[in-house]
């Protein structure tokens, strides 16, 4: 994964910095000039300007609900609305930004969801994963190392009964040896933030 | 929360991409045949009620330099689940932390998603959590292949 290329730019995971988890990078952490490339100062290690980092970090947190949201976002970090838009467009095009939109609380919209873990015969794994991924309510589907080799999320409108029915359908796919649903009992955190 | 038809349409619009222009909500409102004020009022109402966590940019973490991720499943004694959850949630390298139901033959009850720039970085986060919480049994379930990753389409 060390040589991802997008739009001709090579991302270099920075290796000279001591490890220690994702660290939030506040405005104070940026000391280079506005146009300087400061990979060495970056939490993510990707090459981006100081302004790009500020915009991408702020936009991952909250785009305000107002008439001119990009201008408002920029005002908080000392960047013009036009520059905010420029950075977001560039990084969307590069594929670093997947989507700019709403993050909803599934349950409060009247949906139920779960995480499911399955053990699938290795020879059938890809086929089963593809079949499961066809279901629109499956948003994540990963092969993982271990006894349970396929993990996916399932969400449906309505109660857990609908989720369970869907899991039962997946459980009957040829090659599926086990398939368990692990619904949430307590939510402690959901916050994806990747400081650039 | 029971949504009105217009509100469902607003959710539908927001579950995709907002237009990258100075007044994105005005354009989205126009697309639904409503006024910008009505759209913004609904947005604020959604946020206040917790239906909408936020409007934001979602990054592809691997393209953003975070090359490694693992789901770690933990066996934590019931009485310590809450304190473990809170400790794990405080780590900036952990994006998701849940207590989930257990099943026969699978008694892992806490799940954390850990992100880092390398496998070593992830393992360091995990060992840090082990040290802080005294957790003894856990599985680091690294992702080997991504088959699907998308955002939920609600309506």
Give the CATH number of the domain where residue B100 resides.
Answer: 3.30.70.3460
Tell me which residue range forms the domain holding B77: 68-142
Dihedral through CA A108, CA B39, CA A102, CA A12, nearest 10? -170
A66 close contact with B: CB closer than 8 A: yes
What are the CA-CA distances from residue A66 to residues A63, B10, B54 (Å)? 9, 15, 13
Query: Average pLDDT, whole number, for chain A?
Result: 82
- Asked if the structure places residue B152 within a domain, the reply is no
Q: Same domain, yes or no, for B15 and B81?
A: no
Phi, psi of B83 (to 5 degrees): -65, -35
Residues of B in Cβ contact (< 8 Å) with A140: 148-150
All domains of chain A in start order, with CATH:
5-94 (no CATH), 106-182 (3.30.70.920)
Confidence of residue B2 (pLDDT cuts 50, 70, 90): confident
Task: Give me B10's structure tokens.
Answer: 């607003």
Query: Average pLDDT, whole number, for chain B?
Result: 94
Under DSSP, the state recorded for B105 is T
**What's the pLDDT at A24?**
35
User: pLDDT tens-digit profile of A43-72?
Assistant: 777 788 999 999 999 999 999 999 999 999
* Cβ contact, residue pair B59, A96, below 8 Å: yes
Q: Same domain, yes or no, for B102 and B130?
A: yes
**What's the pLDDT at A174?**
98
Q: Is pLDDT of B71 > 80?
A: yes
**What's the pLDDT at A7?**
32
Q: Which residues contact A134 (CB under 8 A, 6 or more apart)?
A: none
Dihedral through CA A138, CA B47, CA B88, CA B125, nearest 10? 70
**Chain B from 26 to 55: CB within 8 A of any A CB:** 26, 36, 40, 43-44, 46-47, 49-55
Q: Same domain, yes or no, for B72 and B42?
A: no
Q: Which segments of chain A have a pLDDT < 50?
A: 1-40
What share of chain A has pLDDT > 70, as a percent?
Answer: 79
* Sheet with B110-116: strands ordered across: A176-182, A111-120, A150-157, A140-144, B137-149, B68-75, B110-116, B94-100, A184-190
Residues of A in Cβ contact (< 8 Å) with B20: 70, 85, 88-89, 92, 100
- Asked if the structure places residue B148 within a domain, the reply is no
Residues of A in Cβ contact (< 8 Å) with B116: 19, 21-22
Lowest mean pLDDT among A68-77, B10-19, B36-45, B65-74: B65-74
Q: Is pLDDT of B1 > 70?
A: no
3-state secondary structure chain A: CCCCEECCEECCCCCCCCCCCCCCCCHHHCCCCCCCECHHHCCCCCCCEHHHHHHHHHHHHCCCCCCCHHHHHHHHHCCCHHHHHHHHHHHHHHCCEEEEEEEECHHHHCEEEEEEEEEECHHHHHHHHHHHHCCCCCCEEEEECCCCCEEEEEEEECCHHHHHHHHHHHHCCCCEEEEEEECEEEEEEECCCCCC
Residues of A in Cβ contact (< 8 Å) with B59: 56, 60, 91, 96-98, 194, 196
Residues of B in Cβ contact (< 8 Å) with A61: 54, 56
The secondary structure element, H or E, covering residue B89 is helix B81-89
- Provide the ipTM: 0.88
A92 close contact with B: CB closer than 8 A: yes
Q: How many domains does chain B have?
A: 2
- Asked if the structure places residue B26 within a domain, the reply is yes
- Asked if the structure places residue B111 within a domain, the reply is yes
**What's the pLDDT at B143?**
87
Mean pLDDT for the stretch of residues B118-146: 94
* Cβ contact, residue pair A2, B67, below 8 Å: yes
């Amino acid at each position: 994964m060390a040589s991802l290329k997008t739009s001709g730019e090579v991302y270099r995971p920075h290796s000279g910095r001591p490890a220690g988890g994702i660290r939030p990078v506040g405005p104070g952490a940026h000391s280079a000039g506005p146009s300087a490339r400061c990979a060495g100062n970056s939490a993510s290690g990707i090459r981006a300007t100081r302004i790009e980092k500020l915009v991408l970090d702020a936009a991952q947190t909250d785009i305000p609900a107002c008439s001119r949201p990009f201008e408002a976002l920029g005002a908080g970090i000392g960047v013009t609305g036009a520059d905010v838009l420029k950075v977001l467009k560039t990084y969307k095009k590069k594929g670093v930004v997947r989507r700019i939109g709403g993050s909803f609380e599934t349950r409060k919209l009247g949906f139920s969801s779960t995480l499911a873990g399955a053990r699938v015969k290795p020879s059938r794994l890809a086929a089963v994963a593809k079949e499961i991924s066809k279901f629109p309510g499956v948003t994540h589907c990963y092969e993982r190392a271990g006894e349970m080799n396929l993990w996916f999320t399932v969400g449906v409108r309505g109660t857990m009964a609908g989720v369970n029915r869907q899991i039962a359908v997946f459980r009957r796919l040829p090659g599926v040896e086990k398939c368990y649903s692990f619904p949430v009992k307590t939510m402690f955190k959901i916050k994806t933030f990747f400081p650039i | 929360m029971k949504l009105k038809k217009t509100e469902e349409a607003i959710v539908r619009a927001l579950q995709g991409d907002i237009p990258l222009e100075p007044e994105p909500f005005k354009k989205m409102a126009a697309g639904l045949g409503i006024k910008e004020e009505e759209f913004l009022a609904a947005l604020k109402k959604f946020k206040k009620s917790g239906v909408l966590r936020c409007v934001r940019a979602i990054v592809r973490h691997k393209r953003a330099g975070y090359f490694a991720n693992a789901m770690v499943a933990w066996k934590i004694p019931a009485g310590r689940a809450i304190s473990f959850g809170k400790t794990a949630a405080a780590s900036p390298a952990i994006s998701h932390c849940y207590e989930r139901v257990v099943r026969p033959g699978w008694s892992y009850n806490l799940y954390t998603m850990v992100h880092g720039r390398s496998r070593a970085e992830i393992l360091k986060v995990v060992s840090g959590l082990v040290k802080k919480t005294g957790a003894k049994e856990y599985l680091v379930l690294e992702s080997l292949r991504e088959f699907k990753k998308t955002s939920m389409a609600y309506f």
